Structures are given as C-alpha cells and as structure tokens.
Chain A
Amino acid sequence: MPKLINLTGDQANTFELLAKDYEGDVKANTIVPMAFFMANREAVLNAGNVGIWIDSEEQPEELPETAKTLPVIAINFPKFMDGRGYSIARYARERLNFEGELRAIGDVLLDQLSYLKRCGFNAFDMRDDVDTELALSSLGEFTEAYQASNEQPTPLFRRR
C-alpha cells in the first residue's frame, strides 16, 4: 500500500486509483485516467467526488476549463527521472488555475518533494516505508530559492 502524505503529515487516502485502460461507469471516490475523463466529462464532473490522473506523456492543454473544479488532479511519474510531471503541474496550477488537491503519484521519492511542492503539488503518494517526519523535513531543506514558482510567485531578484 502506498502512503499518502500532504504538506503537514499523513493523509487518509479516500480515493481509489483506476487503471489507465479503465472502461465502465463513473464510480464515487475514484481517480479516473485522463482519457476516461475526456470521454465522460459531464458524468465525472457531476459526481463531485471523482478526480482524474494525467500520465506524463499526456497533454493537459486538452483539458476543458471545468477541470479546475475537480476535487483532485493526480499526475503520474512513471519513473522519477521523467520530469514532465513538473511542467504539467505548473500548467494545472498556473494556467488551469486549479486550486484543489494536486497529487504526485507513481515513482515519487523523498528527495523530489521540495521541487514537487514548488511546482504546486500538495499531496504525495509515497512508498509505505517512507518516514513521514523525514519527508516533511525535506520540504524545509531550503529556506530560499531564486526562481518564481507556484509556491513563491515573485522571483528572488524582485525581492532583493
């Protein structure tokens, strides 16, 4: 079982993640793949308790504007070295203006958390052996950064 962590501690996972090839009805408390959502937009949005997940090669630009009302958007990291999810997350936050739970799923490692957070993620699906305290403390390893990011929209050079 993966372990879900948010910015303050462990979080109960109330959503079931459905596989990429899922076909069938919209079920409450699930996270459906992006393709399923694109084919069943109204039903998913109307359910109110169904989220979506985006794989790293998918194009978030295709999402309708209404996707910002979803309760959760998850972004998959098939391998931790696949960094596309960072850009997808910034798209979700900065273009789609999504304010709900942005969850990193897949190969999510402790040492990526602070970058993930700066790109807008606020929930992380981690391996179950992860030490929550260590994970949370890794979020605070850097007290300042040069770039504008989702966490700090004003770059350092405008604050010096």
Chain B
Amino acid sequence: MYIYDEVDSRIVKERVAQFQGQTDRYFAGTLAADEYLPLRLQNGLYVQRHAPMLRVAIPYGMINSTQLRKLAQLSRDFDKGYVHFTTRQNVQFNWPEIKDVPEMLRQLADVEMHAIQTSGNCIRNTTTDQFAGVIDDEVVDPRPYCEIIRQWSTLHPEYAFLPRKFKIAVNACPSADRAAIAVHDIGLEIVKNAEGHVGFKVFVGGGLGRTPIIGSLINDFVAEKDLLTYLEAILRVYNRHGRRDNKYKARIKILVKALTPAVFKEKVEAEWAFLKDSENQLTEQEISRVKAFFTAPAYENLERNCAEFVAAQEESKGFANWIKRCTNDHKVDGYRIVTLTLKKTGIPPGDATDRQVDIVADLADRYSFGEVRVTHDQNLVLADVREDQLHALWKEAQAVGFATPNLGMLTDMICCPGGDFCGLANAKSIPVAEQIQLTFDNMDYLYDLGEIDLNISGCMNACGHHHVGNIGVLGVDKRGQEFYQVSLGGDSGRDASIGKILGPSFARADMPNVITKLIDVFVENRSEDELFIDTYRRIGMDPFKERVYAKAD
C-alpha cells in the first residue's frame, strides 16, 4: 500500500487545519452557509435528509487494519456505531455533527486518510479493480497509476470548480472489467503495445444518472509518461467548455455527445500539444517510486490445492460452496482471494457496525497481511489468504455474517440508501432489496440461477447503478406514491450496456412477484448454464414483458 511521506502527510494536515478555520468562521457567522457549502462538499461533508454525512476516501479501495479500526472508533465516538461502504470505494458516516467533522478529519489524517474531494464538482476518488495486483490475468498492477492520479488530482488548483463532479476509473484486466470503466467520465484501460510498452486506452464521457451513456474511445494508446498531461488536457477542455447552465447537462458525457467524440478528441489533442512535453510529463523515477509501494507481501512458498484444503471441501458442502462463490484464484500458488459479503437479509447493503469493522481488521491482520479492499458492489476483500487457512477464516466469517455465499447472485444486490436516508429519493430502495432477499432465500436455487446483477436506485441520480444491472430497479414518483420501474439487459462489465425499460412501473408490494416472473421466464428459456444476461440478449425483451404484464384470467 502507498505510505505517506512527510509531504503527503503535511498536505492532508494543512487541509484539516484549513477546514477547521472555515468551519469556525461558519459557526461564527462570518462565512455564509452558501459559501461554506462547496467548501464542506470538497471535504466530503454532505447534508442529507436526516443529518450530515461525511464521505471518506478509500483511494482505489485499499485500506489497512489500522485505518479500519480508526473508522470503527470514529463511528463509536461521533456516529451511531456503524459505517456504510459505498459503490465508489468510499466509506460514509451517516450521522456526524458538523462541529465534530474537523476533529474526525484530524484523527483520520493520523492514519493517512482524508475526505478531500469526495464530494463537490471536482475530481473524485479514482477507482479500480478490487483484485488489482493479485490476479494472474492483469497487464500490470493498476494501483500505482491510481496513486499517481490521486496525487495529481488532489487540491488541483484549476479543477476545483468543474461544471460537475468528475470520476476516473482504471482497469488493467483484459478478461473482465470490475471497475466499470465504460460508465465513468474518464475510463482508462491499461494495455501494452506491440513493443511491450505500457500505456492507456482512453474512454471519455461514460456515465449513469439521467442520461446513461457508454464512454467513447478517444485514444487507443497514450504512453505511460503522458498520463497526466493527457488527463490535464481532457480536464481543461471540459472545464472551459462543459455546460454550466443546467446541472443535468453539465457532465462531460453531454459535452462529448454534443461535440461528437471525434471533435472532442481534436480539442483535447490541440490542448495536449502544449502540455505534452511540459514538466508534467511523468518520469521513470516517479513511476518506480510509486510502484515500489505496491510490491508483493511476504508470500510463503506453497503448493496449490493442498490436501488439507481439498479434504475440507469434501467434508463440508457449505465450505465448498463458499469457496466456489466467494473466493477467486490468486496469482500465487497456495493463496486465494476472499470476498466477505456485507449483504445479509435485513441489513442495508454496504452497512457494517463498528464491531464488524473491528472484526474485519482483525481477520485482515491474521489472514491477509493486514490489508482489505473495498469493492464497488459494496463487499470487502481479503486478497491474500492461504488455502490451508481458508476453513478457519470461513468459520469466523460465518459467525459474524460475512460469509453468506451469495456473491454475484440475485440477492447480492447493489442498492442505494434510497428514501430511508436520502433527501432526493422518489422511493425507498432498501425495503425492496429486503423483499427480494426474502423471496429468494433458497441458496441452491440461487446457485442454479447463476450470476445476475440486480441494481436498485431510489431516484434517477442512479447511485445504485440501476442502468447497468441485468435487472435494474428505479424508484419513481407517481402522484405522490412510490413506484418502481424495471429495466432489463444492463451490464457494467466487458460488454457494457445500458438496460431497457420493461414497461409501466409497479407498486412496491408487487415487486417480489415481478422479479419472480422475470426469473421464471429466464429459467424456462435458458439453455444449459446460460447466464441471465445472455438469455436476455438471445430472446429479447418480449417474453419477459408478456409474462409480467399478462392479464390474470
């Protein structure tokens, strides 16, 4: 993991001191509420329906046990004893007092954490693959580049007041895209060219929200050394030319669409011509300096599938299931990647109590070199677990509810906070998730169904990424009543696509029934082990539509 040097730590501490001053002026009445607003947003402090919310960055999803314990402690001291892991690899405190926030930030700075630019119209936390650095199938480890981008974007003087928020995601895995780069303002795919040099495919203008769009490729090889100058050029074109008259048309996706990707690219490259050979060009030295923080931990020399591990799976079907569903192959023999699921029925997806967070920290220390990753589907990953220790870990994880083996299944939903917590919601989303989890509680049946992404948002801001769910659910308001619109066919992975609306929306009570019918149509039409998304792509919308809207005879 990256470790702050004296300068990194000084910058974060100076930021805390600055925010303390701004908050003092706000309480003293010398800083108006509307002027304090963008300042607190840029420090991650958002005011929502019930209380302020503090969003803390977990850069590209990496967090260590010391930092986790600090989060748990802060949630006890300043909040209601739980935290919420978001779909952007961040963590939120949902009930802090504004006056306590500078102190919380001070304590976070002590463990090398911050809330800089986690909100507001600026460059947000850069995200990447939660399996970065531990999977075989990876061009290079993307995390050093994410850290380089983090430093470049942190307190950038020119881009603190962009037309709208700005998100960058990086993927380095040719066979999968767990970072969903196609739906980001900038998506970077790390590739190697014919000469074996590392560079980036650059996609711009993807996004969800009201106008879901898949990003356009504007350059298929930006060399490693040109990373920052190319990003700088894109940001400058966007800062100058992005729309500012209508907040719903202010994302870069609208600009790229209005200009066309080809013209947008021309503008970027005209700007880049001036920046390319500037001092901002990355040096080999800097790339190596940052890479040195992401070296392999002290792996033991082990063999794959040791007898103990094989026997444990034969003995317990539950353990074998969990291995199959919740762990992935590691690039080092004798280790596996473990995903701890935070989605048990009855608990809002992504929520974890202070006690659970302390336990995760403890599990990380004992089983995985003290490091944890946060995933965009709101689960936690222990990336380096020895196969011969998996059974012991499984037992412990089960005891605290982290081993529900529903990863990737229908009941492992992405769900925004919705009307229970969020001031912008049209409808509640958590109760819908709960109803579906209760309806589909037979694990064997869920396994048979295979992987299905079901994503729920409480309004069209799309925090729950409903557009890219194989099944998407969107809360809508119909004459003051909460209704739900269903879409099918979204996908956030390699073949990213935006879902299409099924038809008129449904009342909440009908939702489990609607989902059941959709699943029935899938099961009846499925060929062998086909995934839901593939069946949908093959048979289209109509069979689903007919069943769901059929008149009862």
Q: Which residues of A contact B (CB under 8 A)?
A: 80-84, 86-88, 90, 94-95, 109, 111-112, 114-116, 118-119, 138, 141-149, 153-158, 160
State the CA gap A153–B283 with chains docked (Å).
Answer: 15
State the CA gap A86–B155 with chains docked (Å).
Answer: 13
Pair A148/B280 contact, Cβ less than 8 Å? yes
Pair B151/A144 contact, Cβ less than 8 Å? no
State the CA gap A138–B21 with chains docked (Å).
Answer: 10
Pair A158/B283 contact, Cβ less than 8 Å? yes
Given contacts A94-B274, A118-B157, A145-B155, 8 further A-B contacts (CB under 8 A): A81-B121, A83-B158, A83-B161, A86-B159, A111-B22, A144-B11, A146-B155, A155-B279
Pair B7/A160 contact, Cβ less than 8 Å? yes
State the CA gap A155–B121 with chains docked (Å).
Answer: 23
Interface residues of B in 235-281 (CB under 8 A from A): 236, 239-240, 244, 274, 278-280
Q: B97 near A: Cβ within 8 Å?
A: no
State the CA gap A144–B9 with chains docked (Å).
Answer: 11
Pair B157/A149 contact, Cβ less than 8 Å? yes
Consensus secondary structure, chain B interface: helix
Contacts of A155 in B (CB 8 A): 152, 228, 279-280
- Interface residue total, chain B, C-beta cutoff 8 A: 40
Contacts of A143 in B (CB 8 A): 10, 14
State the CA gap A109–B161 with chains docked (Å).
Answer: 13
Contacts of B538 in A (CB 8 A): none
Pair B35/A86 contact, Cβ less than 8 Å? no
- Nearest CB to that of B270 among chain A residues? A61
Contacts of A160 in B (CB 8 A): 5, 7, 286, 289
State the CA gap A81–B10 with chains docked (Å).
Answer: 27
State the CA gap A144–B154 with chains docked (Å).
Answer: 12
- Could you pull out 21 A-B pairs where Cβ atoms are within 8 angstroms? A83-B159, A84-B240, A86-B159, A95-B274, A115-B158, A115-B160, A116-B157, A141-B14, A141-B17, A142-B14, A142-B15, A143-B10, A145-B11, A146-B152, A147-B155, A148-B278, A149-B157, A153-B279, A156-B7, A157-B151, A157-B283
Q: B316 near A: Cβ within 8 Å?
A: no
Consensus secondary structure, chain A interface: loop
Pair B157/A86 contact, Cβ less than 8 Å? yes
Pair A86/B7 contact, Cβ less than 8 Å? no
Shortest C-beta distance, B16 to chain A (Å), equals 11
Q: B38 near A: Cβ within 8 Å?
A: yes
Contacts of A112 in B (CB 8 A): 160
Contacts of A94 in B (CB 8 A): 274
User: Given the interface contacts A80-B161, A156-B7, A157-B282, does A147 sit within 8 Å of B274 by beta carbon?
Assistant: no
Pair B239/A83 contact, Cβ less than 8 Å? yes
Contacts of A144 in B (CB 8 A): 7, 10-11
Contacts of A158 in B (CB 8 A): 279, 283, 286
Contacts of A142 in B (CB 8 A): 11, 14-15, 18, 155
Interface residues of B in 116-160 (CB under 8 A from A): 121, 148, 151-152, 154-160
Contacts of B274 in A (CB 8 A): 94-95
Contacts of B244 in A (CB 8 A): 82, 84
Q: B523 near A: Cβ within 8 Å?
A: no
B22, B121, B152 interface centre (most CB from chain A within 10 Å): B152
Nearest 7 pairs of A and B residues by beta carbon: A83-B161, A118-B157, A157-B286, A115-B157, A86-B158, A146-B151, A141-B18
